[in-house]
Structure 1
Amino acid sequence: MTPPTDRYDLMDPALIKDPFSGFSRIREEKPLARAVLPGIPGTIWLVTRFDDVQAVLGDRRFVNDPAGVPGPGVKNLRAEAVKAAGVPEDHLEFVTRNVVDFDGAEHVRLRRLVSRAFTPRRIAELRPRVEEITRDLLDALPDKARNGVVDLEEHFNFLLPITVICELVGVPEEDRPKWREWSRALVSMKSERVGVAVKEAVAHVRTLIEARRAEPREDLLTALIRAQDEDGDRLSDNEMVTMVLTLVMAGHETTAGLLGNGTAALLTHPDQLALLRDDPALAPQAVQELMRWCSPIQAPRMRYATEDVEFHGETIRRGEPVIPMIVAANHDPRRFAEPERLDIKRSTDGRKEAHVGFGHALHYCLGAALAREEAEVALVALFQRFPELTLAVPPQRLRRVPLPLTWQLVQLPVRLGAVT
């Protein structure tokens, strides 16, 4: 992977195929690098080292919303890219104006409306239900086998998080397969599929909202409607649609990616899998290490500098886009000893979360606790139920979504072996 002059191409096939090695090399070459991405004019700054990534994520001089940059002339590059991908103009706000895209008071306002559903206490209360869903899905796996092979992505890794988040939000069971199709359409990057998926998803959520207005239930959607009725200024109709879309999409895609990556990692590191099997109490530590070592998300939302910022001898100008590279930070030897080694017993110096896989500071992932819980339950139960589980293809033949800044499997074919 040779950079053109002083710029790295984020669409470089080698970088997409192995982002861990690729971005680690960039990190060692340049703590602050320039990159290009089709559809984005000019260059993007990449921040690559752990301390710097954490600093940028917590620095109010870098914002998610370009409207927060003083002065004229700062385009919303994500909105331009989404529009180019096929999202209709009149539907852009549902994709580009969600809780993650705002900063400061606006972000806090939207986040507060749903944060009660993701408190540690609420997540702990959900655990028995997560365990029940996991058992049911594992019970069904043998019947999904074709010639002895089961696709875990299709029949387990996706179904667990989509079921949990849909129950939490209030999406009926019969509607959940639609979300799978919409998710696939969005990652296809085919404009004709993307536009249709967004339109259908928005219309679907509007129908759900009307149904909950007529028949309230004990779910998050009813709580959002109640908050709107009590204070109409707090959440507009479009904001409610956007919130539901964000929660359901973000609430299953990343967790499904973590389950797939984590399972594949453990199957290709039998010493680490043996540690987890021998001591299931290692699950929380194992999930944290897997999120560091093979996170499905390589970078968070693009940031914009609100003023000129001096950084490693360079000047990031007001309005310029910046991407804090989580993948490079989580493999930084300045922060982690032997970072390329998977070690589910890795010491974190007494810190609960040493990596930045779930972000940091104001935009720290709202659903991080839920994702960790689902992964802990799923991985332990999967390997206990199927102690002879093996990959059905060589690791190098596992197919991944060919998109930059992501690391997600298309399929995870396995042989279940004996059942306990």
Structure 2
Amino acid sequence: MTTTPVRLTPEDVENPVGAYARFREQTELPRVVLPGLDTPVRLVTRYADVKAALTEPRLVRDRAGLAAPADAGSDPQDELLAAAFDSFPAEYAGYLSGHLALFDGEEHARRRAPLTRAFTARRIAALRGFVERTAAELLADLAARDEPADLLGEFAYPLTTQVICELVGVEEADRPQVCGWIRDFAYGDGSRTVEGLVGIVDHVKELIARRRAEPTGDLVSALAHDTREGEQPLDEDDLVAAVFLLINTGITPPALFLAHGLLALFDHPDQLARLRAEPQLLERAVPELLRYITLVRIGATLYAAEDFTFARTALRTGDPVTVALLAADHDPKEYGEAPERLDIAREFGRGDGHLAFGHGAHYCLGAALGRLVTSVVLDQVLIRRPEAALGVARDGLEFGHWPADGFHLLRLPVRL
């Protein structure tokens, strides 16, 4: 029997309790329509089911070739891609739609393997000094002012942009211009988005050519030269798409997470006071904030590759399924009583202890870098600056939301 789908609001999507608690108790996966979209999807909310969905080979990312159900509407993934990329020139938009989250199997493995090898623990650890210096310089300039600083627009975004430029290998002389293009493309006011895209693509192509001729120790050099026996080398388009993957996933989501992480601690003064009194808890505070916030609340759309039953729900070939990562990370069966409570001393078992970075073959490539940057920021903003506090009344903060998502901070005024 077909049930009427529940239309979710942005408030529903970002509420870790709310509708998710009701959905977890249902026998079948609920059919929902995410905010701003039109196509119903089956929503997975239980921790165990979300983890299983992310490793289920019969749930795929690429819908091409699958038969759509007779009553299927438009494709939710197409709706999101259209909202994001329709304004871009076709010859450039292809670099954006080549996101690893949209591929499966051998094609996903081919594109991901060089990136996985390039994201070595040694390369990430070597970035710590750069992250610490850059964060300290940004904060020193902001603290010299009399008014509160916007720790999203004036700190988190510039910091994550500089980190990606350093990782990719953008040369010092080119960095102001390239960072300007990234700002215009990734988090500007929207008036120069296309110009930012074109500038980044053209510069990355030039950088690839230079690194093919004279490799250095940066990530572009590693991607351009590290091809294993039997592997198909990444061509220029693949390399440009890989850099855009880093820009799309390594700047705005981490910057927003840093802002929301700081706000979560301002919202919980007892936890903030404990972190300042016991800075050794920083190692536990980082994964707990990742779990508590779970910035990517809703995962990429999955499609049933055949008729089968998943989570006590009969799926037909082509049926869209989406995982609610925030719901999973607040599942009482996994986290016990009051999982909506922030506890910086929370102890996790093996592994991450949360699904904020996903799970399985599509696990976030930048997870280690995200943890590193978060620990540096919490240390420098909150522990080393014990007087740092929210610079406006809590109800004076501004939020916005994107299609299929909840609300995100637009600014975070803080007195340093």
TM-score (norm 1): 0.86
User: What residue identity is the alignment partner of 2:264?
Assistant: A
Return the alpha-carbon distance in structure 2 between the equivalents of residues 25 and 232 of structure 1: 46
Matched residue, 1:355? 354
CA change 1:38–1:343 in 2 (3 A) is closer
Query: How does 1:324-339 map onto structure 2 within 5 Å?
Result: 324-337=323-336, 338-339=338-339
Matched residue, 2:156? 157
Displacement, 1:81?
A: 3.4
Is 1:276 aligned to residue 272 of structure 2?
no
Query: How does 1:47-66 map onto structure 2 within 5 Å?
Result: 47-66=44-63
Return the alpha-carbon distance in structure 2 between the equivalents of residues 204 and 39 of structure 1: 34
Return the alpha-carbon distance in structure 2 between the equivalents of residues 238 and 205 of structure 1: 10
User: What residue identity is the alignment partner of 2:15?
Assistant: P
CA change 1:395–1:38 in 2 (3 A) is closer
Aligned Cα RMSD in Å?
Answer: 2.9
CA change 1:38–1:123 in 2 (3 A) is closer
Matched residue, 1:380? 379
SS at the partner of 1:261?
helix
Stretch deviating more after TM superposition (377-386 or 201-210): 201-210
Provide, for residues 365-386 of structure 1, a one-character-per-residue CA deviation record: whole Å limited to 9, x for no partner.
Answer: 0110110011011101211332
Provide, for residues 332-390 of structure 1, a one-character-per-residue CA deviation record: whole Å limited to 9, x for no partner.
Answer: 11111211100011122x32311101000111101101100110111012113321111
Matched residue, 1:128? 129
Matched residue, 1:20? 16
Q: What percent identity do the matched residue pairs reach?
A: 38
SS at the partner of 1:259?
helix
SS at the partner of 1:310?
strand
Query: Could you tell me whether the CA contact under 8 Å between 1:138 and 1:385 is conserved in 2?
Result: no
SS at the partner of 1:401?
strand
Query: Could you tell me whether the CA contact under 8 Å between 1:260 and 1:408 is conserved in 2?
Result: no
Match 1:45 to one of 42, 46, 50: 42
Query: Could you tell me whether the CA contact under 8 Å between 1:79 and 1:92 is conserved in 2?
Result: no
Is 1:9 aligned to residue 7 of structure 2?
yes
Displacement, 1:268?
A: 1.3
CA change 1:35–1:203 in 2 (3 A) is farther
TM-score (norm 2): 0.87
CA change 1:125–1:38 in 2 (3 A) is closer
SS at the partner of 1:35?
strand
Provide, for residues 170-223 of structure 1, a one-character-per-residue CA deviation record: whole Å limited to 9, x for no partner.
Answer: 2342111221221125xx7x7x86655544443343343344446543211122
Give the number of equivalent residue pairs: 403
Displacement, 1:231?
A: 9.1
Provide, for residues 272-327 of structure 1, a one-character-per-residue CA deviation record: whole Å limited to 9, x for no partner.
Answer: 11221122221121010111111221122111111122134431211111111001
Query: Could you tell me whether the CA contact under 8 Å between 2:330 and 2:339 is conserved in 1?
Result: yes
Displacement, 1:104?
A: 1.5
CA change 1:104–1:363 in 2 (3 A) is same
CA change 1:38–1:257 in 2 (3 A) is closer
User: Structure 2 stretches of 5 or more lacking a match?
Assistant: none
Matched residue, 1:344? 344
SS at the partner of 2:334?
coil
Return the alpha-carbon distance in structure 2 between the equivalents of residues 268 and 378 of structure 1: 17
